[in-house]
Amino acid sequence: MGGGYHNGTYDDKKGMKYIFADRGRIGKALKGRFLYLFLDYDGTLAPIARTPGGAVTPKRTRGLLRRLSKLRNCKIAVVSGRKLSGVEKRIRLKNIVYAGNHGFEVRGPGLRFEGPVPPGYKKSFAEIKAKLRERFSRIDGVIVEDKSFSLGVHYRLAAGKDMPLVKKIFYSVTGAYEKKDIVTVKAGKMALEIRPPTSWDKGKVVLWLLEKQKALARDKKRKVLPVYIGDDTTDEDAFEVLKDTGLTIFVGRPRKTKAEFYLKDTEDVAKFLETVLNIQAEALRA
């Protein structure tokens, strides 16, 4: 793995590899390690849907998560741009960590975190929401989603001819607020978003959760192998921070990304989780 998990015996300097291309070597990298699985939701655990409410975790995937979460040599965190309560309802498992709003809200066994918002953010947030909803009410297929700490504008259902206009309206409304450092603006898959003006992102919450895990671990010398799987541009922050210490996996067609491996789709993700389950369960039986 070029610049990545060098101790895991996989060293590829030519670019991102399909993770199932060499099962034996990947199995060797995972075997005997405590794994911390960090998983995006939309496009990773659940297929991308036409609307935010339509993304559902397949029964097989949820069953694998449940079984993995019960292993003492594995921990799971779902790291999503969704509102915390929303992603919790879609997984409905008690013994895993949930990080919503790109890590701005975290809840799990022994964990509770909520990022602070600067003065004036909530007022500006309400103003932006009202303006965007009014402007986008004239364009079919645009959904403005209030996620408490962040606001998402989804335009997957908008007509192709309207997409440039959607972006123009969004940036015209948010531009003055961003210039004054009242909000941060981010782009994702067929979505635009405003967040609090902080440097907190998926990469930073992953590092924070890893430090928490080290503090909770009974065996302080036991190394943790982080595995991050995601499909969106917002996952690149996590790929970046784990490039020298973990296994980073992009979901979808290979493209320019900081991840070192890829899986084809959400079905492939389930297949990989099943592989991890078998390796970890076998290690416990040994």
What is the set of active-site residues?
40
Which residue from 75, 85, 80 is spatially nearest to 99, judged by alpha carbons?
80
Residue 112, number of CB atoms within 10 A of its CB: 8
3-state secondary structure 23-76: HHHHHHHHCCCEEEEEECCECCCECCCCCHHHCCCCHHHHHHHHHHHCCCCEEE
Q: Are 67 and 278 within 8 A, CB to CB?
A: no
Residue 203, number of CB atoms within 10 A of its CB: 23
DSSP, collapsed to helix, strand or coil, labels residue 119 as coil
Q: What is the phi-psi region of residue 257: left when phi exceeds 0, alpha when psi lies from -120 to 50, beta otherwise?
A: beta
- For residue 80, give both structure tokens: 């999503």
Structure letter (DSSP) for residue 233: G
- For residue 214, give both structure tokens: 């080290």
How far apart CA 68 and CA 157 sit, in angstroms, is 35
How far apart CA 188 and CA 154 sit, in angstroms, is 9
Q: Indicate the angle between helix axes 266-285 and 23-30, nearest 10 degrees.
A: 50
